[in-house]
Amino acid sequence: MTKVAESAVASLGMSPVAVQPLMVFAGHRVDAELGRVRLLGEHEVGPALLSERHRLRPESVRVIADHLDRAFPEYEGAFATRAISPPPQAPPQEELSDGLFDLDGLREAALEEALRAPIEQWMTFLHPDQVALVRRNWAGPARISGPAGTGKTVVGLHRAAHLAQRTTGRILYVTFANNLPRVQATFLKAMSPAVADRIDFRSLHSWSQEFLRDCGVSVRLHGERAQTAFSLAWKNVGRDSCLTEIDPAPGYWKEEIDHVIKGRGITSFEEYATVPRRRRRASLRRPHREAVWALYEAYEALRVERGVHDFNDVLSLALAEALRRTGQHRYAAVVVDEVQDLTLVGVRLLHALVGDTPNGLLLVGDGQQAVYPGGFRLSDAGIDIRGDRGQVLHINYRNSKEILDAALAVVAEDSFEDIDGLRTPGRRDVDLTYHDGHVIRVSKPTPSEHDQALLEALHSLPPGARADTAVLCPSMRAIGRYQRLLERASIPVCLLEHYDGRPVDAVKLGSYRRAKGLEFKRVYLPEHDATMPDGSRTPDAEVSETGRERNELSRSQLFVAMTRARDVLWLGSVNRPSAER
Ligand SMILES: Nc1ncnc2c1ncn2[C@@H]1O[C@H](COP(=O)(O)OP(=O)(O)OP(=O)(O)O)[C@@H](O)[C@H]1O
């Protein structure tokens, strides 16, 4: 019955996750669950329904009831239509003063409701194409891609809840960033409380550490000591090598080890000598690759000597363990969000948990929003996504044309390679939904005037607006600076690393990277162009290949930050008079 009802409402764009089966027993007192079905006695059903969140307006209820009348003709029609009473009148003033229903409380509830509005909207209704993806049966691994704001995460969350409703197993929902899982878990709990405890929201690294602990494999993750090992290795074999001709910054070579060598699980020079270095611009000839390999070996020797692991080791150990236990994993399905940020080892690990089982692996992401160096192709990972198992979403629900145009202008010249290996131009076609929103550009001659303008803009926000406002910065240093600035101006701040998706009356502050996958009504990007190369001063030909790669990555990060804005995008710059430059 539930499945038939799900199909019936799918044509209205209603997610199967929004359908909650109830079985009501006349003349009994019951409140129990049987799988997904809630069993209620006739006395319990009223209070149970009233305690549910209100997601539908009365008109929507009427439309759905009419539609179900037609889908289930044996039911008596028109009952639901008659049963809908007009919204209750405001209670008399005496009732409002009894503490439980005071005016302030009501105002707060209304504010919270307004803040939740966009979320409540997509918890029930999706675009019919999205509903089809949520309900689809895939014979093996599948992938959902699409430009920023096209509802990929929304589909991923509905899909996870839908699979949880259809199986008794656990679902793993993974992202690379470690603040996103908390936010997504909060949304899912509100959307589908009945299955929330069977979906594990985890960052890849925290899950891997937990998994290794459960398998009895000891891990000594120590980022700082691993970094010291690298610095020493650079001093011993890197800084006087031919690598400095290509890039004198040790950071570039650390990324090479992290994202290319260890990120791809390469263990021999023969393999590294010919590996395609995805999304890396500098071309390395054999002597350079030999020098990188010498650096890698020196780093590994020093790391092992110190008895510590780095983040890549955690994933490699977990992959080895996962492969050893093939067929014994407890997950019915794995959904990977922001998959473009994973390393090859990371994606292989998640694939190993479910293999090619039907509806097992779902990869969600967009190569244009890659904010880390390096990358992989699905074919490198042995993941075969054929036919209708690769789906692309096209409708942007988040950004207005003005905001999206401003963001696309940043990456327009940067074509990118997605995980399917296809090269895609930076300026992509998307269908926009009607959505109001605008860009405010503020340019000041000095940093203090710029900061003053930011504070004025934040101070003039209407009450309650801070909850859906973010200030995003490109670096940790800038975050520290703006945190002090805001706090000195008595503007409450919630760092993105502590944000869990629940409304809190404070401006969110964090890095462009941490803003990944999130969105806010108002986004402020102070000194947004400070790290951007100034084309007028440095012609492209004079920039090294590694410099161009860094610039491209900075532009992708700025693009991600800009596309987080739903209604207002504030772009601050400091434009010192040219004599001062
Ligand atoms: N069918 C829909 N109707 C209305 N709004 C929708 C619909 N689907 C998604 N949205 C809204 O679009 C916005 C973007 O959705 P989501 O975060 O899932 O996109 P995304 O593709 O994952 O974005 P990004 O890649 O930029 O992180 C959200 O505000 C979401 O509520």
- Angstrom distance (rounded) from CA 303 to CA 342: 23
Mean of per-residue pLDDT scores for the chain? 86
Of the candidates 327, 370, 358, 339, the one whose C-alpha atom is nearest the C-alpha of residue 559 is 370
Asked whether 555 and 512 are in contact (CB, 8 A), the reply is no
Which residue intervals of 250-362 are DSSP H helices?
250-255, 269-274, 286-306, 311-324, 344-354
Probe target for ligand 1 pocket from 17, 119, 126, 150, with the most ligand atoms within 8 Å of CB:
150
- Angstrom distance (rounded) from CA 337 to CA 382: 19
Residue nearest to atom 1 of ligand 1 (CA): 126
Mean pLDDT calculated for residue range 116-138: 79
pLDDT of residue 581: 43
β-strand pairing of 469-473 with 520-525:
parallel
- Angstrom distance (rounded) from CA 79 to CA 1: 20
Residue 301, exposed/middle/buried by CB under 10 A (0-12, 13-18, 19+)? middle
Ligand 1 atom nearest to 396, measured from its CA: 12
pLDDT tens, residue by residue, 418-446: 888 888 888 888 888 867 889 999 999 99
Asked whether 281 and 549 are in contact (CB, 8 A), the reply is yes
More confident residue, 176 or 345: 345
Q: Which range (44-53, 78-87, 299-308) has the least confidence?
A: 78-87
Residue 35's pLDDT band (boundaries 50, 70, 90)?
A: confident
ipTM: 0.98
pLDDT of residue 578: 60
Residues tagged in the binding site annotation for ATP: 146-153
Mean pLDDT calculated for residue range 486-492: 95
Mean pLDDT calculated for residue range 78-83: 50
Q: Which residues contact 107 (CB under 8 A, 6 or more apart)?
A: none
Report which residue type is found at 435.
H
- Angstrom distance (rounded) from CA 511 to CA 143: 27
pLDDT of residue 268: 95
- The number of CA neighbours under 13 Å toward the Cβ of 575 is 8
Q: Which range (8-17, 200-209, 492-501) has the least confidence?
A: 8-17
Q: Distance, CA 421 to ligand 1 centroid (Å)?
A: 25
Q: Is the pLDDT of residue 389 over 90?
A: yes
> Residue 361's beta-bridge partner residues?
334
Domain boundaries, the chain: 2-124, 223-308, 401-580
pLDDT tens, residue by residue, 541-576: 567 788 888 888 899 999 999 999 999 999 999 987
pLDDT of residue 120: 61
More confident residue, 500 or 54: 500
- Angstrom distance (rounded) from CA 157 to CA 567: 24
Residue 420 three-state SS: coil
pLDDT of residue 101: 34
pLDDT tens, residue by residue, 237-267: 989 999 998 889 999 999 999 999 999 999 9
Ligand 1 atom nearest to 155, measured from its CA: 18
Q: Is the pLDDT of residue 449 over 80?
A: yes
Q: Distance, CA 366 to ligand 1 centroid (Å)?
A: 13
Q: Distance, CA 149 to ligand 1 centroid (Å)?
A: 5
Which residue intervals of 126-268 are DSSP H helices?
128-135, 152-166, 180-191, 204-214, 223-233, 243-246, 250-255
Q: Which range (36-40, 118-122, 161-165, 273-277) has the least confidence?
A: 118-122
More confident residue, 52 or 502: 502
pLDDT of residue 420: 82
- Angstrom distance (rounded) from CA 508 to CA 496: 6
Q: Which range (268-277, 357-366, 520-529) has the least confidence?
A: 268-277
pLDDT of residue 547: 83
Residue 277's pLDDT band (boundaries 50, 70, 90)?
A: confident
Q: Distance, CA 79 to ligand 1 centroid (Å)?
A: 35
Mean pLDDT calculated for residue range 443-453: 95
Topology of the domain covering 401-580: Rossmann fold (3.40.50)
Residue nearest to atom 13 of ligand 1 (CA): 398
Mean pLDDT calculated for residue range 480-484: 97
Phi, psi of 309 (to 5 degrees): -110, 155
Question: pTM score, two decimals?
Answer: 0.84
pLDDT tens, residue by residue, 156-193: 999 999 999 988 899 999 998 888 899 899 889 888 88
Residues tagged in the binding site annotation: 146-153
Q: If you count them, how many residues does the chain have?
A: 581
